[in-house]
Amino acid sequence: MLLYFPNTFTYLDLSPSDSMENFISGYPGCEFQIRTALAEVVGPIKSEFFFDKFLEYFFQEEDAKFFKSLGLNCIRLPFNYRHFEDDLNPRVLKEEGFKHLDRVIDLCAQQGIYTILDLHAAAGGQNTDWHCDAGTHIANFWLHKDFQDRTIWLWKELAKHYANNKWIAGYNPLNEPTDPTHTAVIKFYDQVHDAIRSVDTEHVIFFDGNTFASDFSHFGDMHKKWHNTAYSIHDYSGYGFPASPEDYVSSDEQRRRMKRSYERKREWMDQHGLCVWNGEWGPVYARRQYDGLATDAINERRYKVLKDQLAIYNQDRLSWSIWLYKDIGFQGMVYVSQETSYMDLLKDFLAKKHRLAVDAWGADTTQVRHIYQPLIDHITKEIPQENQNLYPFPVWKLSDRVGRLSRSILVTEYLVKEWAEHFRGKSEAELDEIAKSFKFENCLRRDGLNKILMDNARTWSSS
């Protein structure tokens, strides 16, 4: 059931195929924070109504048809454990959690699109970043056995539910783990593999490497125990982000560095003749409201990054999933129009978020660097060099850690209520209209990106 090219990832903010990320839909902080804040402002009934409609509109038949029209054949569906169990009522399955996940799987199947189920946020937080919805930089998943046991229980329930669904290509049990021991993740994978295989022997299992899907160096010979398993890297290039060390011009040296980074991530799989899947990759894009006259030039450079990465993957006939399908304008194949009620409502707030650089993903720190640099300098001066590189270094350098803790955790805590207050006094009809902003008909298409993907798919379909 392994799918060869082209497999493309579409990030869907869908409950429960949902791990709502701040830069995708515009809120600050983590999903659990904004859900709580909105319930306090408009009440739990209206809050639940809004999020349900938001998720309904985010991916519908029109989205599936557009996706298929590009010649793409597989979507990775991230979801959050909170939609299947409550922390105060663990191991009690919430059947309503399947509502949107089943719906999207069926919509995709009707268009001949496969899906891969990705547990993007696990109980306790499996990594140190915001997207595991834990509200902290400590990956407590690796410190408490019960979090791991609950996740194994959940995957067994999911595998029971989907065991006979031929349109599901496979399961991605844990997105981007950051296990500081590098060995607990392997033990967990062994246990979750056996749990899934006890009820489902057919679907592929996709295991991410440790340290944000980049490191398989401690996996040894464990692959010999695992049946029908592939291994997932996430291959983002620094050249595709605002913090790029230099403008990307597709020089020989830049392409060499890009390829070497990719090859290091898949080295263990190549040594053992194993299947590699690139579960996430892709640049971010400039936005005219923030980047002004430089927007087109920046995006042309980002498209060069995209093309050069594709050229590398094509040489290896690599299956991949590009991040992401839909958002409010930073990275999506389609994105919400500025003319919609959602974007109009939050226009000033989104500009403030951008200025404060509180979203860690692709942050442009130009306007706040002078605020945080003294803290970085203070730590650099007072902490011995040998103690400065805390895990998950080198993915997180010292400056990245300061940014995550100070901007993306601390400052965002003070923005959550401000975001929610924009919805105060809204009726259900008004909330529905705001949620409709995410319908396909209210979105624009990123034509440069989509043409590159479509042309690439046509090349492979004819080869």
| Alpha carbon 280 to chain centroid, angstroms | 8
Q: What angle do CA 391, 394, 398 make, to 5 degrees?
A: 75
Strand spans (E) along 84-159: 114-121
Q: Which residue type does 225 have?
A: K
Alpha helices (runs of H) in 238-346, residue ranges in sequence order: 252-265, 267-272, 288-291, 295-315, 341-345
Q: Catalytic: which of 40, 56, 176, 418?
A: 176
Pairing of strands 443-445, 326-327: unpaired
* 33: its two tokens: 């924070």
Give, as one character, the DSSP assignment of residue 281. -
Contacts of 295 (CB under 8 A, 6+ apart): 286, 287, 288
User: Which CB contacts under 8 angstroms, 24+ apart, belong to 445-451?
Assistant: 445/66, 445/333, 445/334, 446/285, 446/332, 446/333, 446/334, 446/335, 448/299, 448/303, 449/285, 449/303, 449/306, 449/333, 450/70, 450/333
Helix (H) or strand (E) holding 107: helix 98-110
Distance CA 93, CA 49 (A): 21
Contact between 184 and 142 under an 8 Å Cβ cutoff? The reply is yes
DSSP-derived pairing of the beta strands 334-336 and 443-445: antiparallel
d(CA 316, CA 430) in angstroms, rounded, equals: 50
| Tokens (6 digits) for 349 | 């707030």
* Catalytic (active site) residue 280: yes
Choose the catalytic residue: 61, 246, 280, 386.
280
Calculated CA dihedral for residues 178, 183, 188, 189, nearest 10 degrees: 90
Which residues on neighbouring strands pair with residue 76, listed in sequence order?
Answer: 116
Q: What is the set of active-site residues?
A: 176, 280
